[in-house]
Structure 1
Amino acid sequence: MDKGVLYIVAMPIGNRADITERAKEVLASVDCIAVEDTRHSRPLLQSLGITTPLMALHEHNESQLVSRLVDQLDSGRSLALISDAGTPLISDPGFPLVRACQQAGVRVCPIPGPSAVICALSAAGLPTDRFLFEGFPARTSSARCDQFSRLKNESMTLIFYESSHRITESLADMARVFGGDRQAVIARELTKLHETILSHSLDELCQILEEDANQRRGEFVVLIAGASRNEDEIDPEAQRIIEILLEEMPTKKAAAIAAKITGIKKNRIYQLALTLKKE
């Protein structure tokens, strides 16, 4: 008997018209749909004419259900996994199930669609070539500040999710750690009626939210511009590469290879290599 398929199906993040035709076809054809919250997903699926049986799969029961679901898939049943909104597994349940299916040789098929991270990044006006998604920040201020401090010098665009309950406190901590003049973007209620995308300094964003209660409502994606780098500064990853190469080969050759890997000018890498050799 052929094994079943686990479909990872992206759902709308707000506007129901964003669901793809392929997603609707898959959801209507599988044996069962695993959802975070049946009370949330059932009305949406019914509005799309989808009557497939549902089962709840969330952080509190996932570990207990994984082996049973893998057995069902192994026996030929098909299953779709959806989250309340967007692409499953992105700050949502599902990772243990997908990993178990991969280990068991069960096919995992992604059905692409909306993702709040990519949606926000595409419209933010911040660099998109390199970005770091951090999910939801820590719940307490001290833990958040520790998390932000580790990222303070990161040159990539930083992306966070945040809830309406903690957005003002999180923004204040971001301004404190990253600096109030750091450029940032708040993307709120994406694809919904009250969608807003605000691009200002962190201090200005804190002030906007303090003065306008409407801007404190809904679901948030917060994007922080990466730290500016001095022209003479070498990226930590580039330094790590040259350090490894220096252990195995002469300085000149190590610098040449590191320059090819990192794209940094050979002379700069060579000077760094000489400095590291002396140290």
Structure 2
Amino acid sequence: MTTDQTARPREFPSQQQEPPGSTAAMTPVPDHGESTYQGSGKLTGLRTLITGGDSGIGRAVALAFAREGADVAITYLPEEQDDADATMELVRSAGRAGFAYAADLRSHEACADVVARAAGELGGLDVLVNNAGYQMAREGGIESIDPDRLDRVMKTNLYALFWMTQEALAHLKAGGCVVNCSSIQAYDPSVSLLDYASTKAAINNATVNLAAELGPRGIRVNAVAPGPIWTPLQPATQPPEKVETFGQDTPLGRAGQPAEVAPAFVFLASPRDASYVSGTVLGVTGGKPVF
């Protein structure tokens, strides 16, 4: 992967989409590591399930996992079919098995179904990545958070993590792991993302709690806390004027690309490199503090 900071965009043209957003409609299109990520066998033979694996960080993680030797199943919303197809093409072009399931994870039944399908088609499950998330920036105060929106944020970001993990434990054995997607919002919350930031703080707590509970079973639990990352969620949930300066408030002065986050997930999933790492939250924030 390139380490040249000048090669990464520092500003973006004004743009807006409807949620959940489309990768192809973004300017510029995010870098998921398509031409840069090179695997070295860190995840050889591991059977992995990634929620929200169709675009953004999820796509970059799916690509990296496949190039590291893992077989990959993903979930995606039905309206994200094109992005899911593109992710599957990347996984299969790496020579690995790939499966994609259209599912809205806001119900326990949907979570149970995709875990069962993934474990069946992969022949088991070694790694669960709880990546699916939803946010929507608001202009008003707490009064502007209506019940439907709060329900969507909480169920997508938090309930689904609990349900997916519960179901995965029927298949995860000693040596397996769970990697959750937290956020810098857990540490430095934006007022306009009160509901979203709250779920990310809860994910940090759940990660530490689960690491303590599942450690005796030999199952590791960690999280990655990305900073501002250029994904379809941004133009789909932020006002255009925010998009133009997205990420410029970081010490590195720019937003990150999904390809810059995926290696953190690879590290935490690796039974070789992270065998004694559990209960931690690894920040990939462009210099914003994670503590």
> Which structure features the higher share of strand residues?
1
TM-score between both structures, scaled by the size of structure 2? 0.33
Bigger radius of gyration: 1
